[in-house]
Every structure is written in structure tokens, then in C-alpha cells.
Structure 1
Amino acid sequence: MNNTEFDNEIYENLPPLLKGLTGEFKGREKDIVLLSSLGVLSSCLPNVFGEYDGKPVSANLYVMIIAPPASGKGVMNYAKLLIEPIHKRIIENSLSNLEDCQSANKGKKEKEPCPPIVTKVIPGNISAAEIYSIIKNAHYGGLIIESEADTLSAMLNQDWGNFSDVLRKAFHHESISISRKVEKLFMEIREPKLSLVLSGTPDQLMPLIKSKDNGLFSRIVFYFFEEISDWRDVFQNVGFKKQILFEKASMHVYNMYDALVTRENEKIQFALTEDQMCRFNTEMNTIFEIVKNNYSASFTSNVKRHGLVLFRLCMILTLVRADKEELKLAESITCNDEDFDSALFLVKQLLYHANTVLQNINSDGLSEIDNRLLSSLSQTFTRKQALESAKKLTISERSLDEKLVKWRKEKLIIKVSHGKYKLAY
């Protein structure tokens, strides 16, 4: 496993919708578009469930992209376009129903209670009390998508906004409740459904996670890299073309969502084949044993929860590949081997990314990749030698030069002469 860019093979085997969306991107941006789109789509599959560890589960994912500023992670915002027609329809219908109720109540002494606002996309800038109400009234589950992770972490750091426990429980669809004596408020939500798609810099991670042991960390699918993207021609009309691509794809997602919503109480059951279940257990057990014997004990919880992530990825890929008639009529749907292989590949890669993030949390300001690069260098080394080591770790020349400057300031290395350094320890 490594945190290099995803192999091109996975893109060749994606369902047509995702293959088309990712085809317009390259490198890290291609990976970010894939993961953020999967995160958004995980909130667009109502009335679908699978049985995992004896419990019914939906497809909802928590995804976080971590990279430096100006690294290209902003392409995550394209994925939000996929859910906008759904969100717009839900909001418009809800406001119309509210307006009808308010009109009907005019002149009445005893007014009928009006329906709450129903939504699909949930803002990250929200209080703890509000999050319960919005999740309760989200249309078949909600989606929080923010391109700056500190929008959400700022709320989690406030006493009135700390809903980290809500995020942890919602990941497993565990019941959540709130009771406030002063406001005479009591609310209980059974089987909450919530998806989360975030991007941010490494500095924005700790305020959000706080600790690798609080449980939220192991529930998130991380994608981490340190390269900074090159300058691009800002006058090319490429971005607008990509926006149109996602807007067209959003209508496919809208129709898929609509087909599933019309099923009402007749849910589709998703399942793996017998061979896939066997492979699932074999592969995840192998990974678990490797982690248990060679990595931090705290990381084993990530492996277990990434088993659920694997199952959910299989579900998303399978449903996105299905045609509209199948979504309307099928009582059950089975994963094909192509989608299972893609999901398994992603989970193996993403576990490495999660471990890299864990090392960053454990380190005292020095990232795991910095540690690996420093440890690969001789006591005395040249910039050329450092660059050779950096390339093996997929660190760009520009990033290396920035690290050399930073390490000198932090007195980790000493400049001996032009292009020559020595370790300070």
C-alpha cells in the first residue's frame, strides 16, 4: 500500500457515470473527484440497505481530503453539483408546503402546526441543537459538504456546537437524542443517516479530530498528500466545461434518486455474492493481522470500520451502475466482481492514507513523510541526494526545497555550503 495516485486501472472499471466525471481530470485531482463524488453519492441512495454484521446499513460515507493550500483539492466542489438538483427540489417543495400551511392558518384562532423545513444539504456552520432538528428533517438523510474543514471544526470547538458524538453515532445509524429543560426540548432520531465530505489543510485536521482515540478519526475515509499543484492557465475555459459535465451528470443522479424514492416502503436489499463475502473476510482479516502485528494498536479500529466502508463502496458502485428500471423494480441487487474489486482496491489504498494521517497526529509537528525522508538521508548529504530520496516518496522538487528551508529554521539540519547539508542530530 502507498499514498501515490490511484492506478489508472481502477478508472477503467468504474461505472459509466463516475468514469465520465473523472475522465476530465488528471493526477491528484482525479482521485479527489472520485472520492468526493462517492461521498456525495452515498447520500443519494434512499430506500437501499445491506446487511452488515447482522445490522441493516445504508451507503453513507465520511470522506476527508487533506492537502496543503494551492494543491488542487478545491476540485472537490464539483461533486457538490451532483446533489444540487435534488436539494433544490426538496427545499422548494418544503417551502411551498410551509407557505400553504401559513396561508391556511391566516385568520384562525387555533392554528395548525406547520411542517418543518426539509433539506438535503446541511451547512457545516450549525449548532448542536440545530443539527438534531436538521438531521431529523433531512430527506432520506443529509449531506454535510465543506471545502474548508475549519467551518465544521469551529462548531465542534464550541460548547453549544459540539456534535462530535452525533457524527460518531450517525456513521453506524445509532439512535441519537437531545433533551433541553429550559427550551422544553426533547428529540430522538432513530437510524439517522448522514454523509460527510470535507477538504482541508493538515493544520485544520486536529481541531476537527482532536484525538485519534475519540472514534471520529476511525470513521473517516482520508486522502492525504503534500504536493502543491502547478500553475494553470486561468484563461482556459476548462473549468466551465467541467461544471457543465457535472451539471449534466446531476440529472442522472436526480433520476436515480427519484426512482429510489418512489419505492416508499419497498426497499432494495444490496448483497455480495458468496465468493465476494469469502474474499471480503479473507482480505480484511489479512489486513487486520498485518496492522495488529506491525502498526499502532489504535489503528485496528480503522481497519474494522474500513470493512464497513468497503461494503458501502460496493453498494454505491453497484447502485450507480444499475439502470433506472432496475432501481424501480428490483427487490434485491447483487454486487458484480468489477465493482467489488474497485472497492477493495480503494479501501487498501485509503487505509494507507489513514495511517499517514495517524502518524501526523502522533508526531510533534513533524509529519510521517518528513520523518521518512529525514531518516533516509546520510549524516551529510547534498540537495541532489535529498531530491533522489524525495522522488521515491513522491515528493516534488518544489516541496523538497520548502522542507529544506523549514528544517533549517527548525534546526533539524545545518547548511554546510551551497547545496550541502548535515543532520543536526
Structure 2
Amino acid sequence: MQRRLIEKSVYKKLPDTLKSLTDLFDGREKDIVLLSSLGVLSNCIPNVFGIYDGDTVYPHLYVIIIAPPASGKGVMNNSRILIEKIHDKILNDSKIENSVCEQDKKKNKDNTEPCPNLQVKILPANISNAEMYNFLGSSQHGVLIMESEADTMSNMLNNDWSNYSDVLRKAFHHEPLSISRKIDKMYEDIKEPKLSMVISGTPDQLKPLIKSRENGLFSRFIIYNFDEVSDFKDVFALKTRDNKVVFKTIGEEIFNLYGSLIAIEKPIEFSFTKSQQKKFLDRIRPIRNDIINNHSEAFISNLHRHGLVLFRIAMILTVLRNKETMNEQTNIICSNQDFITALYLTKTLLRHSQFTFNTIDNGVLSIQDEEILDSLNQQFSRKDAIESGSKKGIPKRTVDDKLAQWRRKKAIRKVKKGTYKKL
């Protein structure tokens, strides 16, 4: 079943930086570029923070794109260009610093101080638990894990020496991390870890990565899930020639923004207006009640974390819209335009998350699902299911999701278009 595209109104109101990138694409590719770019850029905004539920939070996001092979999700890799110049500078500066330290130690035998750890901005997923702590500890403003094959990370999480699932869960909320290993003479104490992730993979690659929808890692991700296979596009189209040029141009702008934010003395606080705070609560609370009444209560943690995701997306949009004057700010207030854009975008992402959540289970139907199925004839139509659902206050889109889930759970099978049979 086709999952919703991001609404066109979202694209119309984006800051120019993101509009320049997304205007190059259409359909699913447009959505993938927007979400992957937000994930990458969330790690390019140092010294900007907000207060959410009493805690200091930063813009960092976790994004995962789930789709079949040959579905066009490879355009995600374009977003990496946005951070590459920052990564190259941090890595090269770190290598020089390390080389100078090593030379100094050779000249001065009394110098027993260890040389600083290597610093990077882009981190591979295929690293050990200890390496993860090292890189997070040496990075003041965070690192990005970007992988186009989700099983690269899945393989790591299945090993004792590289299972950093707990690190991923804690880093999302910037919770303190510490590790001590006597054999390696290693000790790391990270007060506010900052990590962004942008990952893509097939549905089969998702299962080993997120073994349980209740393990906490699932609810931390922005999830975008679709199952259409793309047509073979015109690989010689003239408009595709300049795509990477545009990303490199924007990458230069982001590099300059990063440099100006690194240089400021006092971090900049981002916040909602009182009116936006009220609207935020007015929109989130009814969704919570709907989940309790019509869906699995286990999904509540996903809703709560999507509230934080909304706040972080609004922070990124606001910084990008004001990037030319960010180094002159002491605090920034979210515009109504960016607030509404973040709200609409998060609403769509929450539906993708809920759909995916409902596919990660043991095949057992909920009580509500059983009640709807019991009310239907042995053979029934989509229209019958929608009418039965509406009597329980369930929207048409949710019933369509349920039909897809029931088929996967072998509770029904499709007889023909719009007609189903109970098994």
C-alpha cells in the first residue's frame, strides 16, 4: 500500500537552502532528499540549543529510509556532500595536530601525555563499541553516521564487541556516556554526546537492526517507509548533470555557517513563542488520546519522541532561514512559517512510523482489529472495512493501513482489487 508523500505545502515554505536541494527532484526522491538533508544538516549546526521538557537539546536527528531495492532511495547519498567539506577540514586538522604531538614526543622523551584522538565528522557504522566512545568523546559538536545499507549497522549490533545500541539510545537525548576498560587502559566520560544518523535499507534489513519495537531505538528514528519500485528514469537527462554541483554549492554555504557558529563565544538559544507552545500541545495531546483509544499504547513513546523531533526540525529550519546573521544572534525565535512546516512534516512522519511500528510484531491482531474483522462478512470490500472502521471513529487512511497489515499477518487475502477474504 502506498504511504503518504510529504505535503506540497511543506516544500513551498522551506528555507531557500533546502528548497534549492529539493527542487531538483520529484516524488519519493524529493522526500528522501529533504529528510536525509535534514539528518545531515542536524550535525552541522554547532552552538545552537533549545530547552525541551527541562533538558538542553541540540538539533541532532536519526533518519532511516526503508524501501525495496531499485526504489530510488540512493539519492540519499547526495546529502553527504553537504557535510564533506566540514569533515575533511576536521579530519585534516586533527591529523596535523596528532602528527605534531607525535613529533614532540619523539624529541621530548619525558612527555608521557597521550596524543589526542583522531577527530572526524562522518563516522562509519562498522566500528567497535570502544571506537564509538573514542570518536564521540573527541568530538565537541557531534558526529554523523551515514550508511546506505542498514545491514552494515545491523551486523555491528549483533556482535558483543560492537553492540553500541545503548550508545545510540542514550546519545539521542544527549545522556552522559562513560566506559572504562583496564586491559586497554581506556576511560571515556562524555557529558553531552551528540550524534546524527542517516541510514537507508530494505524492510528485511530493518528487522535485524530493530529487533523489537519496544527496545527504544525504533522510537528515536524518523522513519520514512514506502514499497513502490521506481521506474527506470532517464539517466541522461540534462537536469541531473547539475545535481551534485548544487549540493556542493550549498555545502560551501554550510561550511561557512559551521565556521561562523564554531567561533561564537556564547551558544545561541532557540525557542518557540508562547502561541507556538500552546499550538504544539493542542496538536500533540489529541494524537496521544487517539493512540490510546484506537492503537497500541506501546506506540506512545514514538509520539513523545516525535514531539522532540518536531522541535529539532523547527530549530534546523530556523537556523537555515537566518544563516546569514546567526553569528549576530544571542537567541532565535521560531517563525510561524517554520513552526507550521515542522508540524506538518512531523505529522506525516508519525504516520510512517506508525505504519512501520505495526509491521514489527508477532502477527497477533489487536482487540480492535479482531472486532472490525468480526463485523465483516467472510468476503468483504475495502468500502465495507472503511464503514466498519468509521463506526469506531477510525479514519479511512488508518483502515487502509490495517488492511495491509492484516494481509501480512495472514488474517486476510486479496481476492481482487478492493475485495478481500478472511482466512
TM-score, normalization by structure 2? 0.86
Contact persistence 2:7–2:345 (CA under 8 A): no
Partner of 1:342: 341
How far off its partner does 1:43 sit? 0.6
CA-CA distance at 1:208 after TM superposition: 0.8
Which residue is 1:167 aligned to?
A: 168
**CA spacing shift, 1:422–1:192, aligned 2, 3 Å:** closer
Q: Once the 2 structures are TM-superposed, how far is the Cα of residue 104 of structure 1 from its aligned partner?
A: 2.5
Structure 1 counterpart of 2:216, one-letter code = G
- Inter-partner Cα distance in structure 1 for 2:414 and 2:83: 52
> 1: CA distance between counterparts of 2:274 and 2:411?
57
Secondary structure of the residue aligned to 1:178 is strand
Cα distance between partner residues in 1 of 2:157 and 2:285: 34
Q: Aligned letter for 2:143?
A: G
Judging changes above 3 Å, is the alpha-carbon distance between structure 1 residues 218 and 110 closer, same or farther for their aligned structure 2 residues? same
The 3 A distance-change label for structure 1 pair 413 and 348 is closer
- Please say if residues 90 and 139 of structure 1, whose CA atoms lie closer than 8 Å, have aligned partners that are also in contact: no
- Asked if the contact 2:379–2:422 (Cα under 8 Å) also holds between the matched residues in 1, the reply is no
1:135 aligns with 2:132: no
Shift of 1:327: 1.1
User: Relative to 1, partners in 2 of residues 1:131 and 1:415: Cα closer, same or farther, differing over 3 Å?
Assistant: same
Mapping for residues 221-232 of structure 1, pairs under 5 Å: 221-232=222-233
Whether contact under 8 Å (2:145, 2:197) holds in the other structure is yes
SS, match of residue 156 in structure 2: helix
Cα deviation, residue 414, structure 1: 9.4
Moved more, 48-57 or 100-109: 100-109
Q: Is the 8 A contact 1:120 1:139 kept in 2?
A: no
Equivalent residue, structure 2, for 1:306:
306
Q: Quote how far apart the aligned CAs of 1:212 are.
A: 0.7
Contact kept? 1:3, 1:349, Cα under 8 Å: no
In structure 2, the CA distance between the partners of 1:153 and 1:365, relative to structure 1 (3 Å rule), is farther
Q: In the alignment, is the contact (CA less than 8 A) between 1:125 and 1:152 conserved in 2?
A: yes
The correspondence of residues 118-267 of structure 1 with structure 2, limited to 5 A, is 118-263=119-264, 265-267=265-267
Give the counterpart letter for 1:45 in structure 2: I
Give secondary structure in 2 for the equivalent of 1:333.
strand
1:397 matched to which residue of 2? Answer: none
Written as runs of structure 1 = structure 2, the 5 A alignment for 1:335-374 is 335-362=334-361, 364=363
Structure 1 distance, partners of 2:351, 2:298, is 14
The AA in structure 2 aligned to 1:23 is D
CA distance in 2, matches of 1:270, 1:158: 39
Change (3 A) 1:289 1:125: same
Equivalent in the alignment of 2:329: 330
Which runs of no fewer than 5 residues in structure 1 stay unpaired?
383-391, 394-402
Segment of structure 1 superposing worse, 113-122 or 200-209: 113-122
- 1:364 and 1:218 map into 2 onto residues whose CA distance is 20
Judged with a 3 Å threshold, the aligned counterparts in structure 2 of structure 1 residues 280 and 414 are, in CA distance, closer, same or farther, namely: closer
Deviations 1:55-88, CA, capped at 9 Å, x for gaps: 1110111111111111011111011110001001
| CA distance, structure 2, for counterparts of residue 82 and residue 198 of structure 1 | 16
How far off its partner does 1:238 sit? 4.2
Which residue does the alignment assign to 2:114?
A: 113
The residue number in structure 2 matching 1:103 is 103
Aligned to 1:280: 280
How many angstroms does 1:381 deviate by? 9.6
1:364 positional shift: 4.0
Q: Which structure 2 segments of 5+ residues have no match?
A: 382-395, 398-403
Q: How far apart in 2 are the matches of 1:314 and 1:119?
A: 26
Determine whether 1:296 maps to 2:296. Answer: yes
Match of 1:270 in 2: 270
> Structure 1 length as normaliser, TM-score?
0.86
Correspondence for 2:4: 4
The DSSP-based 3-state class of the residue aligned with 1:362 is coil
Shift of the alpha carbon at 1:290? Answer: 1.2
- Residues 293-330 of structure 1: CA distance to partner in whole angstroms, max 9, x if unpaired? 11101000111111111111110000011032x21121
Aligned residues: 393
The separation in 2 between residues aligned to 1:62 and 1:314, in whole angstroms, is: 15
Moved more, 341-350 or 110-119: 110-119
- Specify whether residues 9 and 129 from structure 1 end up closer, same or farther in structure 2 by C-alpha distance, changes over 3 A only: same
Q: CA deviation at 1:180?
A: 1.7
Deviation at 1:378, TM superposition (A): 8.7
